[in-house]
Amino acid sequence: MTSTTPTAVFPKSIWAETAPPRAPTQPLQGTMEADTVIVGGGLSGLSAALHLARRGQKVVLLEAMAVGWGASGRNNGQVIPTMTAAEPDALAKRYGEVGERFARLIGNSASVLFDLVREEGMAAEAEQAGWFQPAHSPGRMRLSKMRVEAWQRFGFPARLLDRDESRALLGSDFWYGGMFNPTGGHVNPLALARGFAAAAEKHGAIIHEGSPATGWRREANGWVVTTAAGSVKAKNFLLCTNAYTGEIVPNLASRLARTVVPVLAWQVATTPVSDNLRGTILPGRQAVSDTRGDLRFFRYDARNRLITGGNVIGSHDVGRRVSQKAARSLAEAFPELGVPEITHVWNGYIGMTWDRFPRVHNLGPDGWAWIGCNGRGVALGVSLGREMARAVSGDAISTLALPVSEPHPLPFHSIARRIAPNYLAWLRRKDKVEMEA
């Protein structure tokens, strides 16, 4: 191992504590050849590696730190088959037929993930119990109705729950109803990433951890990706680094990195909820994330801890303040719970775009990347990994759900990064106005 190899220290999350262990693989040494080289060992890259290996391709995946070290192993674990703001009709309007295919890819993304977990026997604590987006105001109920109707037009089983149905599902009358999608659910995300890695390796993929890509270039008959101690030459190239594109090797893909703003998302875990309260608070174990801009979200893990989180304004003592805020929010919605004890608090980057649409980029012949999860990377990342695998396997472009666009770096990107946390103040004000409307 060279002195430039970074050390993969996982945050002290509930996932790092409970995910099945994985022995790290050796960093890349020397030169290799492959059909496809993938940079990034998160869910997109691992999904692509699995799908390509199942098709018989020789795949080499390079991960700078360790499988699932980035956002893929740090998130809340909710498997959500929608975007935060990119509605299906808007996708179709922007991208035409490929936008319609992309909307259907998103709508089917949770099922794709859970089907793969079952097919490959991944120990990911996967529960396809459904995903619920409760409305925090009457105005948001109107939005929920519009979203349900839109997804139903695209053939997906979303349905609108009224306030009574919402109360029964949640065990709380804190919300007004909302959109329910039965295909969603939740996972242990680090266990999921490690499960994808093991499945890909079982099918023949080669993974080198501790191997940050230092550069990539197109040659006459393929791509070359370099690291500090070696290189991989391949016909196909997939860049799957999302919010961390500019974080470990700043100059790896600086133009792409400047198309998103990495924003820290904080997660926390409570002590296990007692059995008697478990029967009344979220008895069906769905994943929940509401319609606020200052989002309230929660779900149970396999040990009956509530996994929630949030963000606060300012940089002082953030972990403690997030924990207090998250605990108070749970107590407000579920008074019988009281203010729960928080045992774990951690964070990770999500990649935000200015309009909250994800971006797909064609890097050149047989070279692909996507960026901008906007907080929906678990299900979408797995499906886009599959779709990019299809692209470099020769599937007809007319069948792919890849709405290609040119990268457009954000002007004053460094300033946008500094002020992004203050966006929360505007979201809170907007939420308050909607509640009073």
* H/E element, 181: strand 178-181
Q: Do residues 384 and 360 make contact, with C-beta atoms less than 8 angstroms apart?
A: yes
pLDDT at site 431: 67
DSSP string computed for 389-430: HHHTTT--GGG----B----PPTTHHHHHHHGGGHHHHHHHH
Question: Residue 250 pLDDT > 70, yes or no?
Answer: yes
Per DSSP, the residues of 228-271 read SSEEEEEEEEEE--GGGTTTSSTTSSHHHHTTSEEEEEEEEEEE
Helix (H) or strand (E) holding 167: helix 163-170
Q: How confident is the model at residue 432 (pLDDT cuts 50, 70, 90)?
A: low
pLDDT at 416: 83
Flag whether pLDDT at 428 surpasses 70: no
For residues 167-193, average pLDDT: 98
Confidence of residue 417 (pLDDT cuts 50, 70, 90): confident
- Cβ partners under 8 Å of residue 161, min gap 6: 132, 169, 177, 178, 179, 180
Question: In whole numbers, what is the pLDDT of the chain averaged over residues?
Answer: 95
Mean pLDDT value across residues 136-165: 97
- Ranges of H-type helices in 25-96: 43-54, 88-95
Residues of the chain above pLDDT 70, percent: 95
pLDDT at 112 over 70: yes
Tens-place pLDDT, residues 39-88: 999 999 999 999 999 999 999 999 999 999 999 999 999 999 999 989 99
β-pairing, 206-208 vs 59-62, is parallel
Query: Token pair for residue 52?
Result: 């390509």
What are 164's two structure tokens?
Answer: 């009574």
Across the range 280-286, mean pLDDT stands at 98
What's the DSSP call for residue 172? -
- Measured CA distances, 369 to 59, 169, 245, 388 (Å): 16, 38, 11, 8
Q: What is residue 362's predicted lDDT score, i.e. its pLDDT? A: 97
CB 39 within 8 A of CB 367: no
Amino acid identity, residue 418? R
Query: What pLDDT score was predicted for residue 1?
Result: 40
Amino acid sitting at position 339: V
Q: What is the pLDDT of residue 2?
A: 42
pLDDT at residue 436 greater than cutoff 60 = no
- What's the whole-number mean pLDDT along residues 192-212? 98
Distance separating alpha carbons of residues 31 and 40, to the nearest angstrom: 18
Please check whether residue 271 is in contact with residue 343, taking contact to mean a CB–CB distance below 8 angstroms: yes
For 336, the token pair is: 């019988």
Q: Whose CA is closest to 254, among 366, 360, 407?
A: 407
Task: Give pLDDT tens digits for 204-214.
Answer: 999 999 999 99
Q: How far apart are CA 143 and CA 121, in angstroms?
A: 38
pLDDT at 418 (0 to 100): 82
∠ CA 114-367-94, nearest 5°, is 70
Tally the C-alpha atoms within 13 A of residue 258's C-alpha that lie toward its C-beta: 14
Q: How confident is the model at residue 429 (pLDDT cuts 50, 70, 90)?
A: low
What does the pLDDT average to over 251-269?
95
**pLDDT-derived band at 357, boundaries 50, 70, 90:** very high
* Whole-angstrom distance, CA of residue 13 vs CA of residue 318: 16
Q: What pLDDT sits at residue 201?
A: 98
The answer to whether 300 and 185 are in contact (CB under 8 A) is no
Confidence grade of residue 220 (pLDDT, cut at 50, 70, 90): confident
Calpha distance 275→286 (Å, rounded) = 16
Residue 3 has pLDDT above 60, yes or no: no
Higher pLDDT residue, 134 or 423? 134
How many whole angstroms separate alpha carbon 225 and alpha carbon 212?
Answer: 10
So what's the pLDDT on residue 314?
A: 85
Mean pLDDT of 332-343: 98
The strand pairing partners of 39, in sequence order, are 62, 239
Measured CA distances, 373 to 30, 210, 300, 370 (Å): 33, 24, 23, 9
pLDDT at residue 430 in the model: 66
Q: Is the pLDDT of residue 419 over 60?
A: yes
Q: Where are the alpha helices (DSSP H) in 274-376?
A: 275-278, 318-333
Q: Are 374 and 358 in contact (CB under 8 A)?
A: yes
Q: Which residues contact 272 (CB under 8 A, 6 or more apart)?
A: 303, 304, 305
Residue among 62, 369, 25, 4 nearest 225 (CA): 62
Looking up tokens 């977990």 gives: 117
Q: What is the pLDDT of residue 344?
A: 98
84 Cβ contact list (under 8 Å, min separation 6): 356, 374, 375, 376
